[in-house]
């Protein structure tokens, strides 16, 4: 298992716990959607899995080489082209692994990654010349350039319009299948969680804890009616969590 969380807890200073007794196992190659209301601790949990923050209790197993991360904001360097942003990530990945590669090899790999995210013709553009969806595609290519098996995605498509988001869902699914990554995808959008995840984990609020999970089966993928029923069931459960927290 690339990720195992056991009785994980997190509190900041002497405040109330943000996460409490979080338990989950994520298998290699699995696509897990982590769903929860705003402020329930999803980003905190991702930061802990990424090794950017430490839990205050419990134990976790994560890959020894860490994880690649993708955020809501593409966070591209504005002075570099799309290709330059990807090549820089490739250079950093080489530095981290201690294996220096040639400039030509990095350029060839950047070309492959640009093609993988369907940006073959836009490598020489700077971020401000790209649409929001294209910038997120570059960010996805850059996170793949980090060459880690585990990819953590924190609401990467939340700021995009619905049509662009749907397109990127199709692309991410294709890329996940082609690259065999393990993906943990944080969202507060139930439809997105059901569209992408093989499994949906629901995190409660204050404290955050995995309170329910659902398998998304082949039947849900091929039958829009079944997917709609599952989305409605999860939405009801999410609303309960939000109401419980509001009382
Ligand atoms: N460094 C920190 N210091 C103190 N409190 C923090 C810190 N980071 C997060 N928190 C608190 O932890 C709680 C969970 O925050 P987190 O960002 O993990 O939630 P989230 O589920 O990702 O929210 P959203 O969906 O709105 O992004 C919030 O109440 C937040 O204020």
pLDDT in tens, 60-71: 999 888 899 998
pLDDT band for position 242 (cuts 50, 70, 90): confident
40 lines ligand 1 (CB under 6 A): yes
| Cβ of residue 187 lying under 6 Å from some atom of ligand 1 | no
Reading across the β-sheet that carries 3-10, which strands appear in turn?
19-26, 3-10, 57-61
Ligand 1 pocket test target in 13, 16, 19, 42 with most atoms within 8 Å of CB: 42
pLDDT, one tens digit per residue, over 78-91 is 999 999 999 999 99
- For a pLDDT cut of 90, what percent of the chain falls above it? 68
Domains of the chain listed by start with CATH number: 3-67+148-246 (3.40.50.300), 77-147 (no CATH)
Whether 85 lines ligand 1, by a CB cut-off of 6 Å, is no
Residue 41 CA: nearest ligand 1 atom is 18
Q: How confident is the model at residue 247 (pLDDT cuts 50, 70, 90)?
A: low
Q: What is the mean pLDDT of residues 161-189?
A: 91
Which atom of ligand 1 is the closest one to the Cα of 36? 21
21-73: pLDDT as tens digits: 999 999 999 999 999 888 889 999 999 999 889 999 999 999 888 899 998 88
Instruction: Over range 196-220, report the average pLDDT.
Output: 93
Residue 114's contacts (CB-CB under 8 Å, 6 or more residues apart) are 82, 83, 86, 120, 122, 123, 141
What are the helix (H) ranges across 117-158? 132-145
12 lines ligand 1 (CB under 6 A): yes
Cα(190) to centroid of ligand 1, in Å? 20
- Work out whether the CA dihedral 204, 207, 209, 211 comes out positive or negative: negative
- What pLDDT score was predicted for residue 97? 79
Residue 243 has what pLDDT?
84
Ligand 1 neighbourhood includes 17 CB (under 6 angstroms): no
Strand ranges, E, within 14-83: 19-26, 31-36, 57-61, 68-70
pTM here? 0.92
Q: Which residue has the tokens 């969806």?
A: 133
pLDDT given at position 99: 82
């Amino acid at each position: 298992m690339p990720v195992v969380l056991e009785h994980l807890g997190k509190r900041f200073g002497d405040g109330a716990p943000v996460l409490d007794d979080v338990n989950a196992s994520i298998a290699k190659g699995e696509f897990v959607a982590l769903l929860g209301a705003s402020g329930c601790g999803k980003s905190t949990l991702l930061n802990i899995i990424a090794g950017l923050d430490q839990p205050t209790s419990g134990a976790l197993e994560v890959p020894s080489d860490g994880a690649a991360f993708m955020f809501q904001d593409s966070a591209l360097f504005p002075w570099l082209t799309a290709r330059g942003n990807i090549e820089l990530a490739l250079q950093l990945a080489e530095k981290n692994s201690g294996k220096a590669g040639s400039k030509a090899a990095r350029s060839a790999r950047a070309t492959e990654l640009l093609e993988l995210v369907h940006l073959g013709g836009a490598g020489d553009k700077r971020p401000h010349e790209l649409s929001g969806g294209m910038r997120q595609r570059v960010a996805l290519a850059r996170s793949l350039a980090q060459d880690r098996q585990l990819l953590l995605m924190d609401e990467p498509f939340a700021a995009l319009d619905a049509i662009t988001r749907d397109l990127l869902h199709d692309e991410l699914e294709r890329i996940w299948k082609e690259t065999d990554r393990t993906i943990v995808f944080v969202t507060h959008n139930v439809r997105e969680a059901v569209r992408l995840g093989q499994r949906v984990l629901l995190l409660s609020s204050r404290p955050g804890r995995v309170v329910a999970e659902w398998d998304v089966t082949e039947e849900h993928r091929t039958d829009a009616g079944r997917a709609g029923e599952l989305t409605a069931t999860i939405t009801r459960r999410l609303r309960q969590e939000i109401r419980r927290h509001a009382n």
